[in-house]
Amino acid sequence: MTSQAIQTQGLTRRFGATTAVDHLSLTVETGEIFGFLGHNGAGKTTTVRLLNGVLGADGGDIRVLGLDPAADGPKLRARTGVLTETPSLDERLSAVDNLTIYADLYAVPTGEVNGRVNGILETFGLAERGREKVGGYSKGMKQRLALARAFLHQPDLLFLDEPTAGLDPVATQEVHDMILHVSREEGRTVFLCTHNLVEAQRLCHRVAVMEQGQMVAVGTPRELAHTIGADMRFTLEIAPDQVETARAAVIPLAAVSAVETTDAELTLTVNDREAVPDLLAALQAAHVRVYAVIPQQTSLEDIYMALHRRKGQA
Amino acid sequence: MMNGRAIRAIVRKDLKVVLQSKAVLIPLIMVPLILLVIIPAVGGLLLANTDPSSPAITDFRRETGAFFDNLPGTINDRLQQYDSEVQRITYVVFNLYFPAMYLLLPTMVANVIAADSFAGEKERKTLEALIYTPTTDRELYVAKLISPWLAGVGVGWIGYIAFALIVTLTTWSLMGGVFVFDLAWLLLILWVTPAAAGIGLGAMVLVSSRVSTFQEAYQLGGVVVVPVLLLLFGQLGGVVYFSPLVAFVVGAILWAITVALIVYGARTFHRGELMARL
Ligand SMILES: Nc1ncnc2c1ncn2[C@@H]1O[C@H](COP(=O)(O)OP(=O)(O)OP(=O)(O)O)[C@@H](O)[C@H]1O
Ligand SMILES: [Mg+2]
């Protein structure tokens, strides 16, 4: 058994003049949560379809769980679970019916179907309304049910296409907890498509950034920050009555590219590490008392923006 | 080897979903009810209560004289067994007018349900999850064909039983027995009905890739089916005498068209292409 859940080499798919996926070479390790980031139309959904053998590739090699999706589609799909972009639920049927049908389709052992369906409805907080028609569910409930359906046959590899799009913060948090649970407790591999950078940062071990079908960066969020050399951010804790003084003292410094203030904090973005000692010296000269210097991790958002700027310059 | 459990799951789902849809159920119930229950009941009661010597009968017989005189020999022999003109007219009405009408039902039912299960699934956006299941293309295709076909044959058979009962009961005083069952009817039911359902299905196989909603599929499906049926049944102004031989031949033609359409559909059914057109 290979330790790579997914491996592609030069994977390409065109739709007419559009190249939806353009020579994508990608490796996803078994057990990781892999973030697949990109704007609308970047090629995320198309990639998921190619990886599951439900759409043909125009070129390149694919191995998923050691199988070739084009040749062994059914065998492969028995071991993957997919949360599609739209929940794709039968709204005229109940949650129990929706899940039972898919338990049969994914060959859940016959004797276990009822237990599995009821258990997963319980886990996803839908047990009480499991016999109601799905058409009457809220968006969050539908999303949870679709997620439950993707987990039902305990797949080795989960594809989640924008699992929290359109959900409120509470529902989003619940979905995040579920994803972390199946990853940490059950050791499943997760391929997470999203354009939510905070989500990717919170959940993913590694992320790939897609633009117009091409992968423009890949690595841990920290690695990306380093390779791209994105700006550095940190927060200073100071006395409330000195916030304005501090602000006035740092703004003239060339290395400072942004200043955000709250009632007792100053968050600075600098484009050079060497600027930090100078900055502290300037504050001291202005008699600002600094109680703490808290480094802020470079967010994916910064990486994303940096990539965009680079692309714009090129 | 096909995965029977997966196929049964899809068939069960499609039938369950259909039963929840008014747009599908209303034509499914109303048309058989009108054609096979209400019209035969009214006709049967009228005929059973007609005075055999009434001028209406003599007039009708005179106007349709040519028609009666040119009936094939076998049916003429059968008609000679009856004493009265009303009995003969009753026999002709239910054995000549109704079979063709009856055969529209399995076709229509299979057509409506296939429209719902092919195009409706696309419209309701439930197809994508189905495409991702570990079924093969062949299993998915076969599963999608079974529920409309079963429903077409089922409604046909139940419809026939209702029709035979209604006709027999309403005309009992006149005819004194069952007269809408013979070898020709048996062939119609067992041989032609499944083929007629197949035509409704085959038409949908042909049009489903070109439509994206249930309504479009339903209408375009009708455009394909109606001419075929008209060609077959419409020759004599809507009246065909289904002798056993005619029933057999019509069935064979319908089966041939059905098989051709379904084989054509199987060749062009690939989930990759369905996905690209989603
Ligand atoms: N079936 C199709 N037919 C034609 N073009 C398509 C098809 N599927 C995708 N495309 C095109 O391929 C490109 C990538 O689409 P894809 O849906 O993979 O993007 P995405 O990253 O999932 O976007 P989103 O965030 O909007 O879901 C887009 O330009 C899209 O228009
Ligand atoms: Mg997408």
Which CATH number goes with the domain that contains A65? Answer: 3.40.50.300
| Chain A residues inside the 8 Å CB shell of B13 | 90, 93, 97, 101
Confidence label for B231 from pLDDT (cuts 50, 70 and 90): low
Are both A156 and A264 inside the same structural domain? no
What are φ and ψ of residue B192, in 5° steps? -85, -40
DSSP assignments along A124-158, one per residue: TT-GGGTTSBGGGS-HHHHHHHHHHHHHTT--SEE
In contact, A143 and A175? CB cutoff 8 Å: yes
Confidence label for B237 from pLDDT (cuts 50, 70 and 90): very low
Domain hosting residue B237, numbered range: 4-276
**Does A304 reside within a domain?**
no
Question: Which of A42-46, A189-193, A303-307, B159-163 has the least mean pLDDT?
Answer: A303-307
Quick one: average pLDDT of B154-180? 92
Q: Which tops the pLDDT comparison, A143 or A197?
A: A143
Task: Enumerate the β-bridge partners of residue A36.
Answer: A193, A208
Q: What is the pTM of this model?
A: 0.84
Confidence label for A106 from pLDDT (cuts 50, 70 and 90): very high
With a CB cutoff of 8 Å and minimum separation 6, the contacts of B6 are A104, A105, A107, B133, B134, B135, B139, B143
Confidence label for A100 from pLDDT (cuts 50, 70 and 90): very high
Q: In terms of CA atoms, which chain B residue is nearest residue A97? A: B13
Q: Which tops the pLDDT comparison, B17 or B71?
A: B17
Are both A221 and A263 inside the same structural domain? no
- Residue nearest to ligand 1 atom 30, measured at CA: A41
% of chain B beyond a pLDDT of 90: 35
Are B276 and A77 an interchain contact pair (Cβ–Cβ within 8 Å)? no
- Residue nearest to ligand 1 atom 2, measured at CA: B276
Tell me, what amino acid is at B83? D
Are A107 and B6 an interchain contact pair (Cβ–Cβ within 8 Å)? yes
What is the reported pLDDT for A97? 96
Are both A167 and A261 inside the same structural domain? no
Alpha-carbon distance B72 to B63, whole Å?
19
DSSP assignments along B186-216, one per residue: HHIIIIIHHHHHHHHHHHHHHHGGG--SHHH
Are both A62 and A203 inside the same structural domain? yes
**Does A276 reside within a domain?**
yes
Alpha-carbon distance A34 to A184, whole Å?
13
Of the residues B7, B14, B133, B214, the best mutation for testing chain A's interface (the one with the most A CB atoms within 10 Å of its CB) is B133
**Does A311 reside within a domain?**
no
Of the residues B15, B132, B273, the best mutation for testing chain A's interface (the one with the most A CB atoms within 10 Å of its CB) is B132
Q: Which of A226, A256, A281 is the last residue of a domain?
A: A226
Specify the number of domains making up chain A.
2
A78 touches chain B (CB under 8 A): yes
Q: What is the pLDDT of residues B191-219, one digit of tens each?
A: 999 999 998 888 888 887 777 787 777 77
Q: In b/e form, how buried is each residue of A153-171, taking b as 16+ CB within 10 angstroms?
A: bebbbbbbbbbbbebeeeb
Tokens of A32: 């990781």
Instruction: Give the position, in ligand 1's atom list, of the atom nearest the Cα of A47.
Output: 18
Are A90 and B17 an interchain contact pair (Cβ–Cβ within 8 Å)? yes
CA distance A118 to chain B (A): 18
Say whether pLDDT at A150 is over 60: yes
What is the reported pLDDT for B97? 78
B6 touches chain A (CB under 8 A): yes
Confidence label for A73 from pLDDT (cuts 50, 70 and 90): very high
B172 touches chain A (CB under 8 A): no
Q: Which tops the pLDDT comparison, B165 or A257?
A: B165
CA distance A242 to chain B (A): 58
Q: Which tops the pLDDT comparison, A49 or A274?
A: A49
In B108-137, the residues whose Cβ lies within 8 Å of chain A are 124-136
Whole-angstrom CA distances from A27 to A5, A11, A64, A206, A275 are: 8, 12, 10, 10, 37
Say whether pLDDT at B132 is over 80: yes
Taking one residue from A and the other from B, the number of pairs with CB-CB distance under 8 angstroms is 83
Are both A93 and A214 inside the same structural domain? yes
| Chain A residues inside the 8 Å CB shell of B125 | 86, 88
Burial (CB count within 10 angstroms: exposed 0-12, middle 13-18, buried 19+), residue B223: exposed
Are both A259 and A194 inside the same structural domain? no
Are both A288 and A235 inside the same structural domain? yes
- Residue nearest to ligand 1 atom 17, measured at CA: A45
Say whether pLDDT at B123 is over 90: no
Question: Which of A14-28, A151-165, A268-282 has the least mean pLDDT?
Answer: A268-282
What's A277's domain CATH number? Answer: 3.30.70.100
Domain hosting residue A291, numbered range: 231-297
Q: What is the pLDDT of residues A269-310, one digit of tens each?
A: 887 777 888 888 999 999 999 998 887 766 667 777 777 777
What is the reported pLDDT for B120? 83
Specify the number of domains making up chain B.
1
Are both A78 and A130 inside the same structural domain? yes
What is the reported pLDDT for B236? 45
Are both A90 and A235 inside the same structural domain? no
Q: What is the pLDDT of residues A160-207, one digit of tens each?
A: 999 998 788 888 898 899 899 889 988 899 999 998 888 888 899 999
Q: Which of A197, A226, A255 is the last residue of a domain?
A: A226
Task: Enumerate the β-bridge partners of residue A38.
Answer: A210
**Does A134 reside within a domain?**
yes
Could you say which of B5, B17, B131 has the minimum Cβ distance to residue A54? B131
DSSP strand pairing (A206-211 vs A256-261)? unpaired
What is the reported pLDDT for A1? 46
Ligand 1 mean position, distance from CA A56 (Å): 14
For all residues of chain B together, what is the average pLDDT? 85
State the ipTM, two decimals. 0.84
Of the residues A47, A51, A64, A88, the best mutation for testing chain B's interface (the one with the most B CB atoms within 10 Å of its CB) is A88
Are both A217 and A257 inside the same structural domain? no
Are both A141 and A245 inside the same structural domain? no
Are B275 and A54 an interchain contact pair (Cβ–Cβ within 8 Å)? yes
Q: Confirm or reject: Cβ of A42 under 6 Å from ligand 1.
A: yes
| Chain B residues inside the 8 Å CB shell of A106 | 133-134
Could you say which of B9, B12, B132 has the minimum Cβ distance to residue A52? B132
| Chain B residues inside the 8 Å CB shell of A88 | 125-130
Are both A146 and A260 inside the same structural domain? no
